[in-house]
Amino acid sequence: MAALVCNFPKPGAQPALMQHDEVVTFFHEFGHVLHHLLTQSELASFSGTSTVRDFVEAPSQMFEEWAWSREVLDLFAAHHKSGDKIPDALFNAMVASRSFGRALATQRQLFLAMLDLEYHSRGTPLNTTSVLKEVQNAFDSFPYVDGTHFQSSFGHLVGYEAGYYGYQWALSLSRDVLTRFKKEGLLNTATAQVWPMACPGCCSSHGGITNSCATSGIVDWVSFGSGSSICPPALLPPPRNNSAYRRFDLRGCLDTNTPSDWLDLPNPAPRRLLTPPDACLCP
């Protein structure tokens, strides 16, 4: 059983009309529901969204793409009075504007990931606001504003525990699998039926019980797609007395060619790896 509790408009004097970004959010959360309901696992504690934490956002972020498909939107998105479908000009404008600000959004995700890692890596006691200022000034285009305390509203600090980086990692995974769905059709039932047979670990039927099984499930997931865009997750919190950052590129792979002053604070040191660098699927 699964239920979504969402803060969407409710009907009243006016119809409950949703903005497109709310539709995308609904598809994202429904992706979690599908992951939960369609899992086949021997142990409930390793089923559905109880999978490895840096994979859990992959199905949900992939399912967002269905909310950007004209074919899918035409199945339900219509003017509440006329019943007309979304005009072509409006749909094309939505798609064209989708990438606006994407680099800044990605940069902010990296800032949040690093802030999460630092809070869970450094020794205690520590001044969380000082760490926030240090990390934001190193990773964000917008410098820290004195007197602010963003960390008090960073809800994912509790629950994800140093795993917020999984959003960007899982996004890479979802984009890889999406290559096949886009090639063969988002509503292609044959492709959808091949998916769980091609990668049983995707739905935690095998993944999550041990590190090796979890990694094989992720590799199965990637092999369903193009299989060439990402490698297994590389970041884990370092020992508590080490507050350095590890360089990595936006695909999640170790980047040995990155200049030392690009993503590092002073005294860089490698973080421990889930998988050795030569196991990466990246070219």
Count Cβ atoms below 10 Å from residue 28 Cβ, excluding itself.
Answer: 17
Q: Are 54 and 170 in contact (CB under 8 A)?
A: yes
Taking phi over 0 as left and psi of -120 to 50 as alpha, with beta for the rest, 215 belongs to alpha
**Residue 255 vs residues 34, 89, 249, 274: alpha-carbon distances, Å:** 34, 41, 6, 16
Residues with Cβ within 8 Å of residue 70, at least 6 apart in sequence: 86, 91
Residue keyed to tokens 């994407």:
102
Name the residue among 260, 266, 271, 270 with its Cα closest to residue 135: 266
Length of the chain: 283
Residue 260 CB-density burial (10 A; 0-12 exposed, 13-18 middle, 19+ buried)? exposed
Residue keyed to tokens 């790896």:
273
Q: Are 58 and 233 in contact (CB under 8 A)?
A: no
And the tokens for 202? 């995707």
Question: Hey, is 187 helix, strand or coil?
Answer: coil
Cα separation, 220 vs 46, in Å, equals 17
Residue keyed to tokens 């939960």:
36
Give the active site residues.
29
Q: What angle do CA 209, 211, 217 make, to 5 degrees?
A: 75
